[in-house]
Amino acid sequence: MVLVTGAAGQIAYSLLYSIGNGSVFGKDQPIILVLLDITPMMSVLNGVLMELQDCALPLLKDVIATDEEEVAFKDLDVAVLVGSMPRREGMERKDLLRANVKIFKSQGAALEKYAKKSVKVIVVGNPANTNCLTAAKSAPSIPKENFSCLTRLDHNRAKSQIALKLGVTADDVKNVIIWGNHSSTQYPDVNHAKVKLQGKEVGVYEALKNDSWLKGEFITTVQQRGAAVIKARKLSSAMSAAKAISDHIRDIWFGTPEGEFVSMGVISDGNSYGIPDDLLYSFPVVIKNKTWKFVEGLPINDFSREKMDLTAKELTEEKEAAFEFLSSA
């Protein structure tokens, strides 16, 4: 049982086919898809339901479209929480936070009440890190390690920027890291990244020999890529977001390749990088048997330290604001 929320939206429209055709959970895993959205979107959602039926996907055993949490969250194995309150013009970040705390408190409580305790929860709706923490806090009997938020899109953006600069494919670049918040304070770090050139693996800094680009334009390009897409398309990233969600879930399900790590927002408890506990922060992780572990022992230079602390500070402030709303919500 797989739930996608915000299922009438454009990210879901790009995502649902990938889930249904087996490219996320494997080609031999039958799926029941549950689609949740708000009541005013039910007519659009029924159109999406019709299209999924019309795809005639052999693995898709059933599709349920609903606007009720008690239907949507029942017996779930995986919940992909894409739906959130988008930021409207003239809206303060804290207003956005308040609206989303309400949504994710309610969905966390629904997970607690109806879903399997082994459910894996992936939060995409922004502000993703803090929404994820809110949901986890509202579902105390589900292990907090089961909650993660999407920073894979940033990870993939970083990977592709390096590949473009070196004239290789994205597949030849591995072990980039996104530290921190899925916001413009995130820190894309390639100090530990490797690239395959002429058949051998080289460090990215060594391969590029362009430190000023790596410490400047590269970082800001990745941090602001979402805004650049909106400016160009007049819509936010959907195809690339859906691809990143698929990558994120597939890695949870099947594990990360040997010698490779990926970025995801996870609970910071027990990390060895000096990030405060009880934050939902993006780290480099390896995954095996559906369980993630921090990549330990990476040396952190002063440049990185400052950027990692800056995004931790923003997350701490977001968390404090959210928890104020949480207690009053």
How many other CB atoms are found less than 10 A from the CB of residue 274?
10
Q: Which helix (H) or strand (E) holds 173?
A: strand 173-174
- Burial (CB count within 10 angstroms: exposed 0-12, middle 13-18, buried 19+), residue 100: buried
Tokens 């029924």, residue located: 46
- The answer to whether 83 is annotated as binding is no
Helices (H), the chain: 10-20, 42-54, 69-72, 93-114, 128-137, 152-166, 204-208, 211-215, 217-223, 225-233, 239-254, 302-328
Beta bridge mates, 203: 194
- The answer on whether 157 is annotated among ligand-binding residues is yes
Of 166, 173, 151, the residue nearest 260 (C-alpha)? 173
Concatenated DSSP letters of 216-239: THHHHHHHTHHHHHHHHHSS---H
Say which of 155, 182, 192, 248 is annotated catalytic.
182
Residue 192 annotated among the catalytic residues of the structure: no
Q: Is 45 helix (H, G, I), strand (E, B) or coil?
A: helix
| Residue 129 marked as a ligand binder | no
Is 87 annotated in a binding site? The answer is yes
Enumerate the known binding-site residues: 37, 87, 93, 100, 124-126, 157
Enumerate the known binding-site residues for NAD(+): 37, 100, 124-126
Enumerate the known binding-site residues for substrate: 87, 93, 126, 157
What residues are labeled active site?
182
